[in-house]
Amino acid sequence: MTRMGSVALVGAGPGDPELLTIRAAHRLRDADLVLYDALAPDALLALAPHARRFYVGKRAGRHSIDQAGIDKLMIRAARRGERVVRLKCGDPFVLGRGGEECLALAAAGVPYEVVPGLSSATAAPALAGIPVTHRGIAPGFAVASGHAAEAYGPVVDGIAPGALTLVVLMGLRTRGAIAERLLARGWAPATPAAIVLGASQPTEARWLGTLATLATAVIDLELPGVLVIGEVVALAHTIGARTDLHAAPRTQQGQQGLP
Protein backbone atom coordinates (compact mmCIF):
# COMPACT_ATOMS: atom_id res chain seq x y z
CA MET A 1 0.00 0.00 0.00
CA THR A 2 1.34 3.43 -0.96
CA ARG A 3 2.16 5.64 1.98
CA MET A 4 0.20 8.90 2.06
CA GLY A 5 2.17 11.98 1.05
CA SER A 6 1.47 15.53 2.16
CA VAL A 7 0.85 19.04 0.89
CA ALA A 8 2.57 22.24 2.00
CA LEU A 9 0.81 25.49 1.14
CA VAL A 10 3.87 27.72 0.89
CA GLY A 11 3.79 31.49 0.80
CA ALA A 12 6.27 32.73 -1.80
CA GLY A 13 6.18 36.33 -0.64
CA PRO A 14 6.57 39.00 -3.33
CA GLY A 15 8.94 36.81 -5.34
CA ASP A 16 12.48 37.53 -4.16
CA PRO A 17 13.96 34.21 -2.91
CA GLU A 18 15.78 36.09 -0.14
CA LEU A 19 12.39 37.03 1.33
CA LEU A 20 11.29 33.40 1.72
CA THR A 21 11.13 31.85 5.16
CA ILE A 22 13.64 29.11 5.95
CA ARG A 23 10.80 26.60 6.22
CA ALA A 24 9.52 27.57 2.78
CA ALA A 25 12.97 26.96 1.29
CA HIS A 26 13.15 23.56 3.01
CA ARG A 27 9.76 22.49 1.66
CA LEU A 28 10.77 23.47 -1.86
CA ARG A 29 14.07 21.61 -1.56
CA ASP A 30 12.28 18.40 -0.53
CA ALA A 31 9.33 18.65 -2.91
CA ASP A 32 8.37 15.99 -5.46
CA LEU A 33 5.81 18.23 -7.14
CA VAL A 34 5.42 22.03 -7.17
CA LEU A 35 2.14 23.60 -8.26
CA TYR A 36 3.00 27.25 -8.79
CA ASP A 37 1.21 30.52 -9.44
CA ALA A 38 1.63 32.97 -12.29
CA LEU A 39 3.93 35.33 -10.41
CA ALA A 40 6.44 32.76 -9.17
CA PRO A 41 9.80 33.64 -10.79
CA ASP A 42 12.31 31.08 -12.04
CA ALA A 43 14.62 31.88 -9.12
CA LEU A 44 12.01 30.49 -6.72
CA LEU A 45 11.36 27.38 -8.76
CA ALA A 46 15.08 26.71 -8.90
CA LEU A 47 14.91 26.05 -5.14
CA ALA A 48 13.02 22.82 -5.97
CA PRO A 49 15.65 21.07 -8.11
CA HIS A 50 14.20 17.56 -7.86
CA ALA A 51 10.53 18.40 -8.27
CA ARG A 52 8.19 18.21 -11.22
CA ARG A 53 6.63 21.61 -11.82
CA PHE A 54 3.12 22.37 -12.96
CA TYR A 55 1.77 25.84 -13.66
CA VAL A 56 -1.66 26.54 -12.18
CA GLY A 57 -1.66 30.33 -12.32
CA LYS A 58 -4.41 32.88 -12.68
CA ARG A 59 -3.75 36.32 -14.18
CA ALA A 60 -6.38 38.96 -14.92
CA GLY A 61 -9.13 36.44 -15.53
CA ARG A 62 -6.93 34.06 -17.55
CA HIS A 63 -6.93 30.75 -15.69
CA SER A 64 -4.74 27.81 -16.66
CA ILE A 65 -6.86 25.54 -14.45
CA ASP A 66 -9.81 26.13 -12.15
CA GLN A 67 -9.71 25.80 -8.37
CA ALA A 68 -11.40 22.41 -8.33
CA GLY A 69 -8.75 21.14 -10.72
CA ILE A 70 -5.95 22.41 -8.48
CA ASP A 71 -7.51 20.66 -5.51
CA LYS A 72 -7.68 17.38 -7.45
CA LEU A 73 -4.02 17.66 -8.49
CA MET A 74 -2.89 18.16 -4.89
CA ILE A 75 -5.02 15.32 -3.54
CA ARG A 76 -4.08 12.86 -6.28
CA ALA A 77 -0.34 13.49 -5.90
CA ALA A 78 -0.45 13.23 -2.11
CA ARG A 79 -2.30 9.94 -2.35
CA ARG A 80 0.52 8.67 -4.57
CA GLY A 81 2.87 9.38 -1.68
CA GLU A 82 4.35 12.59 -3.08
CA ARG A 83 5.46 15.66 -1.15
CA VAL A 84 3.54 18.45 -2.81
CA VAL A 85 4.25 22.17 -2.54
CA ARG A 86 1.44 24.50 -3.51
CA LEU A 87 3.54 27.62 -4.09
CA LYS A 88 1.33 30.65 -3.63
CA CYS A 89 2.30 34.27 -4.16
CA GLY A 90 2.39 36.37 -1.02
CA ASP A 91 0.74 34.62 1.91
CA PRO A 92 -1.61 31.65 1.37
CA PHE A 93 -4.28 33.16 3.62
CA VAL A 94 -4.27 36.72 2.25
CA LEU A 95 -6.50 36.74 -0.83
CA GLY A 96 -4.85 33.51 -1.92
CA ARG A 97 -7.62 30.89 -1.55
CA GLY A 98 -5.43 29.05 0.93
CA GLY A 99 -8.37 28.45 3.22
CA GLU A 100 -10.35 26.83 0.41
CA GLU A 101 -7.46 24.52 -0.39
CA CYS A 102 -7.03 23.54 3.25
CA LEU A 103 -10.71 22.64 3.46
CA ALA A 104 -10.46 20.50 0.32
CA LEU A 105 -7.38 18.68 1.66
CA ALA A 106 -8.98 18.12 5.06
CA ALA A 107 -12.12 16.71 3.45
CA ALA A 108 -9.95 14.30 1.44
CA GLY A 109 -7.98 13.21 4.51
CA VAL A 110 -4.69 14.52 3.12
CA PRO A 111 -2.09 15.79 5.62
CA TYR A 112 -1.14 19.40 5.01
CA GLU A 113 0.59 22.39 6.53
CA VAL A 114 0.56 26.12 5.91
CA VAL A 115 3.86 27.94 5.57
CA PRO A 116 3.12 31.67 5.89
CA GLY A 117 4.75 34.15 3.53
CA LEU A 118 5.16 37.89 3.26
CA SER A 119 1.97 39.36 1.87
CA SER A 120 2.33 41.95 -0.86
CA ALA A 121 -0.20 43.96 1.11
CA THR A 122 2.58 44.96 3.49
CA ALA A 123 5.78 43.96 1.64
CA ALA A 124 5.15 45.98 -1.53
CA PRO A 125 4.46 49.26 0.30
CA ALA A 126 7.44 48.66 2.60
CA LEU A 127 9.80 48.10 -0.34
CA ALA A 128 8.53 51.38 -1.83
CA GLY A 129 9.17 53.32 1.38
CA ILE A 130 5.55 53.38 2.53
CA PRO A 131 4.67 52.25 6.09
CA VAL A 132 1.05 51.14 6.05
CA THR A 133 0.69 52.35 9.65
CA HIS A 134 2.42 55.33 11.25
CA ARG A 135 1.89 56.96 14.62
CA GLY A 136 -0.19 60.09 14.30
CA ILE A 137 -1.06 59.44 10.66
CA ALA A 138 -2.62 55.99 10.21
CA PRO A 139 -3.47 53.73 13.17
CA GLY A 140 -4.36 50.79 10.92
CA PHE A 141 -4.85 49.58 7.38
CA ALA A 142 -7.43 47.67 5.36
CA VAL A 143 -6.73 45.22 2.55
CA ALA A 144 -9.11 44.53 -0.31
CA SER A 145 -9.13 42.61 -3.56
CA GLY A 146 -9.62 45.00 -6.45
CA HIS A 147 -10.68 42.50 -9.10
CA ALA A 148 -14.40 43.36 -8.87
CA ALA A 149 -16.71 45.86 -7.19
CA GLU A 150 -18.38 43.18 -5.10
CA ALA A 151 -14.95 42.40 -3.62
CA TYR A 152 -13.64 45.88 -2.84
CA GLY A 153 -16.97 47.69 -2.38
CA PRO A 154 -17.77 46.61 1.20
CA VAL A 155 -14.23 47.50 2.33
CA VAL A 156 -14.15 50.88 0.59
CA ASP A 157 -17.62 51.79 1.84
CA GLY A 158 -16.77 50.76 5.40
CA ILE A 159 -13.78 53.09 5.87
CA ALA A 160 -14.33 56.66 7.00
CA PRO A 161 -12.44 59.04 4.67
CA GLY A 162 -8.77 59.06 5.62
CA ALA A 163 -9.25 56.94 8.75
CA LEU A 164 -7.04 54.06 7.60
CA THR A 165 -4.55 53.25 4.88
CA LEU A 166 -6.24 51.37 2.05
CA VAL A 167 -4.20 48.68 0.30
CA VAL A 168 -5.68 47.07 -2.80
CA LEU A 169 -4.30 43.92 -4.42
CA MET A 170 -5.24 42.98 -7.99
CA GLY A 171 -6.65 46.46 -8.56
CA LEU A 172 -4.60 47.94 -11.39
CA ARG A 173 -7.39 47.65 -13.94
CA THR A 174 -10.10 48.86 -11.57
CA ARG A 175 -8.15 51.72 -9.97
CA GLY A 176 -10.31 54.33 -11.70
CA ALA A 177 -13.52 52.85 -10.31
CA ILE A 178 -11.97 52.49 -6.86
CA ALA A 179 -10.78 56.11 -6.86
CA GLU A 180 -14.20 57.31 -8.02
CA ARG A 181 -15.90 55.36 -5.24
CA LEU A 182 -13.57 56.77 -2.59
CA LEU A 183 -14.08 60.33 -3.83
CA ALA A 184 -17.83 59.80 -3.73
CA ARG A 185 -17.45 58.65 -0.12
CA GLY A 186 -15.80 61.94 0.81
CA TRP A 187 -12.09 61.20 0.49
CA ALA A 188 -10.11 64.31 -0.45
CA PRO A 189 -8.89 64.43 -4.06
CA ALA A 190 -5.43 65.41 -2.76
CA THR A 191 -5.12 62.21 -0.68
CA PRO A 192 -1.69 60.71 -1.49
CA ALA A 193 -1.81 57.53 -3.56
CA ALA A 194 0.79 55.10 -4.86
CA ILE A 195 1.09 52.20 -7.24
CA VAL A 196 3.89 49.73 -6.54
CA LEU A 197 4.74 47.52 -9.50
CA GLY A 198 6.81 44.33 -9.48
CA ALA A 199 7.74 44.59 -5.82
CA SER A 200 11.10 42.93 -5.00
CA GLN A 201 11.75 42.19 -8.69
CA PRO A 202 14.29 43.81 -11.06
CA THR A 203 11.34 45.57 -12.76
CA GLU A 204 10.18 47.15 -9.49
CA ALA A 205 8.87 50.68 -9.89
CA ARG A 206 6.45 53.00 -8.17
CA TRP A 207 4.11 55.77 -9.16
CA LEU A 208 3.35 58.50 -6.65
CA GLY A 209 0.43 60.83 -7.07
CA THR A 210 -2.97 61.56 -5.58
CA LEU A 211 -6.38 59.96 -5.44
CA ALA A 212 -7.52 62.44 -8.10
CA THR A 213 -4.80 61.33 -10.54
CA LEU A 214 -4.78 57.61 -9.73
CA ALA A 215 -7.06 56.69 -12.63
CA THR A 216 -4.83 58.34 -15.23
CA ALA A 217 -1.51 56.90 -14.04
CA VAL A 218 0.45 55.46 -16.97
CA ILE A 219 1.57 51.98 -15.89
CA ASP A 220 2.34 48.54 -17.29
CA LEU A 221 -0.78 46.48 -16.64
CA GLU A 222 1.11 43.24 -17.23
CA LEU A 223 3.16 43.69 -14.06
CA PRO A 224 1.77 42.71 -10.65
CA GLY A 225 0.83 45.82 -8.72
CA VAL A 226 -0.46 47.10 -5.41
CA LEU A 227 -2.42 50.29 -4.79
CA VAL A 228 -1.80 52.23 -1.58
CA ILE A 229 -4.07 55.13 -0.66
CA GLY A 230 -3.70 57.32 2.41
CA GLU A 231 -1.60 59.99 4.06
CA VAL A 232 1.24 57.52 4.78
CA VAL A 233 2.07 57.52 1.07
CA ALA A 234 3.54 61.01 1.48
CA LEU A 235 6.29 59.50 3.64
CA ALA A 236 7.65 57.69 0.58
CA HIS A 237 9.29 60.96 -0.52
CA THR A 238 11.61 60.62 2.47
CA ILE A 239 11.71 56.90 3.39
CA GLY A 240 13.70 55.09 0.74
CA ALA A 241 12.75 54.77 -2.90
CA ARG A 242 12.85 52.68 -6.03
CA THR A 243 12.60 53.75 -9.63
CA ASP A 244 9.72 56.19 -9.99
CA LEU A 245 7.48 56.02 -13.04
CA HIS A 246 5.85 59.36 -12.37
CA ALA A 247 5.73 61.47 -9.28
CA ALA A 248 3.59 64.33 -8.06
CA PRO A 249 4.09 67.22 -8.45
CA ARG A 250 4.87 67.24 -12.19
CA THR A 251 8.35 68.71 -11.69
CA GLN A 252 9.47 65.38 -10.20
CA GLN A 253 8.39 63.19 -13.10
CA GLY A 254 11.06 60.83 -14.31
CA GLN A 255 13.21 61.24 -11.22
CA GLN A 256 15.19 58.06 -10.55
CA GLY A 257 14.64 57.37 -6.88
CA LEU A 258 14.38 59.85 -4.05
CA PRO A 259 16.73 60.69 -1.17
Kindly list the catalytic residues: 37, 58
DSSP secondary structure of 161-191 = TTSSEEEEES-STTHHHHHHHHHHTT--TT-
CA 112, 226, 184, 191 torsion: positive or negative?
positive
Q: How many CA atoms lie within 13 A of 182 on its CB side?
A: 34
Cα(131)–Cα(237) distance, rounded to whole angstroms?
Answer: 12
Q: Cis peptide before 249, with omega less than 30 degrees from 0?
A: yes
Cα(254)–Cα(234) distance, rounded to whole angstroms?
Answer: 17
26: buried, middle or exposed (CB in 10 Å: 19+, 13-18, 0-12)? middle
Nearest-10 Cα torsion for 129, 131, 135, 140: 160
Tell me if 35 sits within 8 A of 43, measured CB to CB: no
Cα(189)–Cα(252) distance, rounded to whole angstroms?
Answer: 19
Residues with Cβ within 8 Å of residue 76, at least 6 apart in sequence: none
